[in-house]
Structure 1
Amino acid sequence: MFERFTHEARQVVTLAQVNARRLHHSRIGTEHLLLGLCEQPATLSARLLARHGLDHAEASAAVVRLIGPAPAEELDRDALETIGIDLDAIREKVEAAFGPGALDREPERDHRGRLRSGRHIPFSPGAKKTLELSLREALTLKHRHIGDGHILLGLLRGGDGLARRVLDEALVDTGTLRREIVENIGPHRAAG
């Protein structure tokens, strides 16, 4: 299916993974797809979402507010502080030696136990459903490609998950948003 994705749609998926990793989440959920959509301000989806009052910063803050901090990280910080270890001081020293974000990169091991770089984060069932629905939306509109607008339509059609809670909290009129997307990408329009 990903071969049908436009560059912008592929970027949504890539940015969803980046956002999941940044938030220390173990799966890419609908909320991460929404963040990926919002993070590309030049795309139709990001422009329409912004017009409805939702940008990347607001969506990201809502995700953190709705899910809360990564529990293990907070417990580790508290445990270390009780024995007199300042995690912020350690972070500064490690980043001075190994570069910014060095502690945020988790080491991954292959099936033989060897360290490998990068890590794949799996999609949640809701995110998989959203991507499948984006294909259905493209087919309904008689498009041969899947663009960022189709992914947003898939999110809206799915109707559940954390992305929908973020949209509802931001008071986005999803019916109007859906109509605006369809008006802009309409049937038989070429990929951008």
Structure 2
Amino acid sequence: MFEEFAEDTRAVIDSALVEVGQRGDQRLGTEHLLLGLLHVPVSPWARALGVSLATARRTLDEIDRSALAVIQIDISRVRLGGTPPPATKGIPWTYAARGVIKHAAEEMVHRRGRSLEPKHILLGILESRRPDLASAVLDQLAVDRTAVRNRLR
């Protein structure tokens, strides 16, 4: 699958893996792909989204805290120690993240592209809906998905 990825796309996936490691997660999800897209703020796809990496991370953290609060877990006083281990390329992907890549590949074929580009991944993420975490982040940040699609096209 990865042989059809553009160089920029490989960098996005590598950045998503960095996010997996930093968050201490066990699988790469759509939220990691979203954060990976934002690692290069001057990229056309990050500019089209109009959200900073720091803002998206903060929003994702708020969503996590809210979800934990529902089951009466308060992590406000928890101090994380040490640096989480970096994620490896062998880390499993969530079903939703694989679905984003599938949608991105369909978008690439539809546009007669030769390789899967980051904009295709973003278009795939824009199709996601709650309870997907990337979708929750976009919703909480009031991202206009139609406007982002138009800027990408």
Alignment gaps of 5+ in structure 2:
69-74
- On the 8 A contact 2:60/2:137 being kept in 1, the answer is yes
Identity of aligned residues (%): 31
Rounded to whole Å, the distance in 2 between the matches of 1:131 and 1:119 is: 16
1:3 aligns with 2:9: no
CA offsets per residue over residues 54-92 of structure 1, 9 Å max, x none?
A: 1100000111111239x8xx6xx97xxxxxxxx78xx6x
2:63 partner letter: L
Aligned residue for 1:142? Answer: 112
Rounded to whole Å, the distance in 2 between the matches of 1:119 and 1:140 is: 28
- On the 8 A contact 1:134/1:150 being kept in 2, the answer is yes
Rounded to whole Å, the distance in 2 between the matches of 1:118 and 1:44 is: 27
Match of 2:58 among 57, 61, 64: 61
CA offsets per residue over residues 151-174 of structure 1, 9 Å max, x none?
A: 001111233411111111111110
Aligned residue for 1:31? Answer: 31
Matches within 5 A, 1:126-141: 126-141=96-111
Rg larger for: 1
CA gap 1:134/1:119 in 2 versus in 1, 3 angstroms = closer
Rounded to whole Å, the distance in 2 between the matches of 1:24 and 1:104 is: 6
Rounded to whole Å, the distance in 2 between the matches of 1:123 and 1:55 is: 24
User: Structure 1 segments of 4 or more deviating over 3 A?
Assistant: 117-120
Aligned residue for 2:151? Answer: 180
2:16 partner letter: A
Q: Output the TM-score relative to the length of structure 2.
A: 0.83
CA gap 1:26/1:42 in 2 versus in 1, 3 angstroms = same
Q: Output the TM-score relative to the length of structure 1.
A: 0.67
Rounded to whole Å, the distance in 2 between the matches of 1:151 and 1:170 is: 19
Rounded to whole Å, the distance in 2 between the matches of 1:119 and 1:41 is: 23
C-alpha root-mean-square deviation of aligned residues, in Å? 2.5
State the 1:19 CA deviation. Answer: 0.3
Q: Give the secondary-structure state (helix, strand or coil) at the position aligned to 1:158.
A: coil
CA offsets per residue over residues 18-48 of structure 1, 9 Å max, x none?
A: 1011011111111110000011123211111
1:170 aligns with 2:141: yes
2:31 partner letter: E
Rounded to whole Å, the distance in 1 between the matches of 2:107 and 2:36 is: 19
Q: Give the secondary-structure state (helix, strand or coil) at the position aligned to 1:62.
A: helix
Alignment gaps of 5+ in structure 1:
79-86, 92-100, 107-116, 183-192
Q: Give the secondary-structure state (helix, strand or coil) at the position aligned to 1:25.
A: coil
- On the 8 A contact 2:128/2:134 being kept in 1, the answer is no
Rounded to whole Å, the distance in 1 between the matches of 2:40 and 2:97 is: 19
Match of 1:152 among 79, 101, 122: 122
State the 1:2 CA deviation. Answer: 1.2
